[in-house]
Structure formats: C-alpha cells, structure tokens
Structure 1
Amino acid sequence: MNETMLRLLTEFNAQRRAYAVATVVETVGSVSAKTSAKAVIDDEGRVVFGWVGGGCAESAACSAALQCIESGEPTVLEIDLDDEVLGAGMPCGGHMRVFVDPVNPKPRLWLLGHGRVAEVLCAFGDTIGLEVIVNDPGATAQQYPAAQRIITDDLDYEQLDPIADDYVVIATQHKGDHESMQRVLASQARYIALIASRKRARLVLQYLRDLGVGEAALARVMAPAGLDLGARTPEEIALSVIAQIVMTRRGGSGKLKKTEPEAPSAKRKAAETA
C-alpha cells in the first residue's frame, strides 16, 4: 500500500471517519485505469486519494462508495466505458470491474464503573463488534482484556465524549452517578443506561430533575438498564443489558419470536366435529 494512502487511512481511522476503498480488479479492452489501481473515497463521496478512472468510472465508484458506507456492505461494480474517452479523443469501449469496500468506524461501548457486570459487558461488547472503552480509576487490563482503551485518570469525565452511534452504560453505583449522567446527556449517544436497582434509579433521576435536567433528556435514560429477563447474577444482568443494546442497534422489538399455532380453519373444525 502506498505510504501516502496508508497515512491518510490512519488519519481517517483516528478521526473515526467512514470511507471506502475502490480497487480495479479486472479490465477488458481499452480502459483508462490499470488493474489494482485504487482510490480512497470519503464519506461525502469525494475521491481524496488515488484514481480508478475518470468520467463515468469515477462517478460510479463515488456513488457506490456512499451506498456501501450507508449499508456497511461491499460491492462489485461492473462499469462499461463506452462514454469514457482516451487521450486521443477516442471512446475507450472497455469494461472494468471495481471492488468497493467500505470502512465504517466501530460504534463504541463506554463502560463507566467497575464490578463483575462491567467485566462481562466488556467481553460481550467486544463479541458483538463494539469498540469497548472502560472509564474507571481502578480498571486494569487483566480485568478488561477485551477493552480497546482503559481510562483511569478521568475523575471529572472530561474524556467521556460519546458520539451519535455510541452506547454508554453507567455502572459506578455511587453518588457520583449524576455527574457522569449529565455529561452523557449532553452528548448524542444512541443509548444511555444506568445499572442500578429501581429505587436507586429513581433517586438518581430525581436528583437530575432537581438539578434542572428536563424530562425529554431523562427519557433517553434506560434506568434500570437491560431487558426484563429475570436476571439475578452479574452475568445474567450483563446479558440483559447487551441484549437491550443489540435491540437498540438493530431496531428490534424485544418481543418473543415464538410462532403461535394457526387457528383451525372452518373446514378443519367441521371435520374434527363430524
């Protein structure tokens, strides 16, 4: 990979920017790009590095890149170049196949606090493809081997900066819960949850009301966190929370998928009573 391209992709990844890499995988006839030619296309549909052809080839690649970034799925373009013109002013008349591979930043799971529930949530989050960040003064890599980042020096939560696709679970279980909650509510985090008993959840929410936090903001908080699975153990509680995160991420309902038996038809009823 070209060093300039590598630096650009490293920069995009650090900025958590989505992009796509278009690669010419096959050419037939006269075409303006060679096999293995690459282009980096940003999340606005612009070629920011490289070249896979001009005119219709670039336009098709940029359009496909935006669609792939949106869906998260790669695609292979079949591009006829009848309208592409070579330097001599003659139509290319060729054909090319271009593989477009999107790269979307992983959504983050921010875990605030410690304990067995947080440890299991870290493992679950990594398993379902989230980038896990643990924010707790006493956290260690041994406790959270699946965490991509561990923050231990953020008592005022200044490093807590979730964006729109991120998930935040507060498991601090102490009177500072409201401080982290206020910080999170000021963000666009997709999911905000508080691991607490019903009594403690009510106390925290009421305290936030007393501080002037509005009802619309408080309605974003899942408190207590998780789906009602009848969970008792830390592992079961973590499962209920990660299930709720999956439901939120994928647009599920949380309802049972059990298929109900069909009601007997009138003809069948008549046969049974004959």
Structure 2
Amino acid sequence: MTTSPELLDLAAQLKANDESFVLATVVRTVSVTAAKAGAKAIIRPDGTIVAGWIGGGCARGAVLKAAREALADGVPRMVSVQPDNLLAELGVKPGETKEGVRFASNMCPSKGTMDIFVEPVLPHPALVIFGASPVALALAAQARPLGYHVTLVAPAADLITTPEADLVIDGFALEQQGCGSRFVVVSTQGKGDEAALRAALACDAAYHAFVGSRRKMDSLRDKLIKDGIDAALLDKVKAPAGLDLGAITPEEIAMSILAEITLTRRRGQRG
C-alpha cells in the first residue's frame, strides 16, 4: 500500500509548525483485516485521526492509547492486536507488554491480527538561555547543531557579537506563552543575575540551571526568598550548571551543560 501525498504533505506541515503528532503505520497483518501492511494515519494529541486510515474500531482503541503514551514520553511503541486465542497461545493478556510489544485483543468478528508501529513526532527541544556571557554564546552555538530551538534572552547592549540563536529577545522579559516545557539556563555571569533568574523561574521547564558558583546561587536564593519567591522553586535550579567534567573554558562549560540537558531529556528513553 502506498502512502498518499496528502498525508506526507500534512506530516511535513505539522513538523514545520513544530506541532506534536503520531504517525501510526500498519507493519503486518494476518488473516482478514480492514487495513493492510503499509497503511498509515496521523494522530493529533487529542486523539483525532486527521489523515490516513489504519482500520476500524478493532485496533483504534489500542492505537490511540499507545499514541497518547508515546507523545507523553517520546518513545515509539509496537502494538499487536490479536484474537484472544492467539494471545493465550503466546501466554500474554490484553494490555501486557512483552519484548517491546504491547498486546491488545481483537474483538471483531474477523479475528485477524494487525501489528501497528506508533511513532511520536515531537517539536524540536527548546533551549532558553538568559544572558550574553561567553558561556551563553557558546551554549547557543553548540545547541543548534544538536537540533535545539535556541532562544537567547539578554539586553541588546550586552551582546558583543551576533548570537547563533533562532530567536533573540532584548532584555529579560519572556512572555509566559513562550515558555512551555523546555530547558532553561541562566548564564548572565554578573550582568543582571537577579532579573534573569526571576524571569527564568517563571518558565515551566524540565530543567533550570544557573551558571555560577554555589555560593553565588545561595546568595541570590536568600534574596529572592525574602522577596517572596517560593523556596521549592529555587531548589529546582541546578547550580552550578552542567556535569562535573572539570570544564574550564566557556566552550567546555557549555558542553557540560548540554551533556546534563541530554541526560535529563533522554532519561528513561533507552530502557
């Protein structure tokens, strides 16, 4: 079965718009099934199938459940929909996962078997960097080739060169809708530390870090707590930023931060 150009065009459009979706592909069928190997469908996060077709209700429920989970953790899944007698022969129950395959029961009269690969397609990971320090600039330069959408937030007057970023914002004001789930690093290194840290804490992120000594962070923490910032929020900030690689130069420090972000981002995805 060939893939329609319209489905491929929609997938490309969603990717260009940095929208999340799932591409579900039928990879194997046995006996009578409505869809055949090669059939594809695009599924949005709300469970809507917006293009393509992978069969009727026999597989839909199991595939949509797997799609929601895949979008949540970024990990692809293989779903095998089989009649109960075949599941019993394999020694598995509906809903069980064995050797990387999630099994589901086919309650339809056809009693066919269908294996569907569920692949999440997620937006580029977003890295927000506060500051115009050498470490901030090195971090932006190293992150873009790794596929990050980089936003650099700093007063224009502090920039001595054009940063390698997808978006540059003058000052430390970052609109809340521009935050979302992402990685945030404060690398002001003495120029607007407090203002940048306040703005960074307003972003909902999987990772917050501060480039500076533990003593400097403790001082800022005490001041911000007195100003009403939640201590639990401040305790989530990693300081100093990055893995302990013995880094000295701005480029090495940036590398250690990206290594730590990678560890955070990929945790649980290689099980």
Change in CA separation of 1:140 and 1:29 when aligned onto 2, cut-off 3 Å: farther
* Contact 1:169–1:194 (Cα < 8 Å) also in 2: yes
1:71-96 CA-partner distances (Å, limit 9, x unpaired)? 53334444347743xxxxxx435444
1:62 aligns with 2:64: yes
Structure-1 residue corresponding to 2:49:
47
Over 3 Å counting, the alpha-carbon distance change for 1:2 and 1:217 in structure 2 is same
Query: Is residue 139–residue 150 contact of structure 1 (8 Å, CA) maintained in 2?
Result: no
User: Which residue identity does 1:182 align to in structure 2?
Assistant: R
Instruction: Give CA deviations for 1:103-155 in whole Å, capped at 9, x if unaligned.
Output: 123332111222331233224434555433223336699642xx4x1224455
Check 1:76–1:251 CA distance in 2 against 1; reply closer, same or farther (3 A cut).
closer
- Which residue in the other structure is 2:258 paired with? 242
- Separation of aligned partners in 1, 2:233 and 2:172: 23
- The percent identity for this pair of structures is 37
Deviation of 1:187 after TM superposition, in Å, equals 2.8
State the one-letter code of the partner of 2:237: V
Distance in 2 separating the partners of 1:115 and 1:160: 25
Q: Residue 38 and residue 190 in structure 1: after superposition, are their counterparts in 2 closer, same or farther (change >3 A)? A: same
2:134 to 104, 116, 128: 116
2:232 equivalent in structure 1? 216
Aligned to 2:143: 125
Matched, 1:179 2:181: no
Q: Which moved more, 1:188-197 or 1:220-229?
A: 220-229
Q: Which segment drifts farther, 220-229 or 181-190? A: 220-229
1:190 equivalent to 2:192? Answer no
Report the counterpart of residue 179 of structure 2 in structure 1.
162
**RMSD after superposition:** 3.5
Contact 1:162 1:184 in 2 (8 A): no
Structure 2: which 5+ runs fail to align?
84-105
SS of the counterpart of 1:207?
helix
**Is residue 226 of structure 1 aligned with residue 226 of structure 2?**
no
Deviation at 1:223, TM superposition (A): 2.9
Deviation at 1:199, TM superposition (A): 5.1
- Is the CA contact (8 Å cut-off) linking 1:117 and 1:237 kept in structure 2? yes
Q: Which residue of 2 aligns with 1:30?
A: 32
Aligned partners of 1:100, 1:141: CA distance in 2, in Å? 44
- Alpha-carbon spacing, 1:139–1:96, altered in 2? closer, same or farther (3 Å): farther
TM-score (norm 2): 0.70
Greater RCO, 1 or 2 (C-alpha within 8 Å, sep 6+)? 2
Say yes or no: does 1:100 pair with 2:118. Answer: yes
**2-structure distance, mates of 1:30, 1:231:** 60
Matching residue's letter, 1:187: C
Q: Please give the alpha-carbon distance, in whole angstroms, between the structure 1 residues aligned to 2:56 and 2:176.
A: 43
Name the aligned partner's letter for residue 17 of structure 2. Answer: A
Give 1 or 2 for the bigger CA radius of gyration: 1
List gaps (5 residues or longer) in structure 1.
Answer: 85-90, 253-274
State the shift of 1:184 in Å.
2.2
How far does residue 169 in structure 1 lie from its aligned partner after superposition? 0.8
Instruction: Give, in angstroms, the shift of residue 213 of structure 1.
Output: 1.5
CA distance in 1, matches of 2:40, 2:65: 16
1:150 aligned onto 2:167: yes
The count of aligned residue pairs is 241
Q: Could you tell me the TM-score, scaled by structure 1's length?
A: 0.69
Structure 1 residue 197 displacement after superposition: 4.1
Q: Confirm or deny: 8 A CA contact 1:108 1:132 kept in the other structure.
A: yes
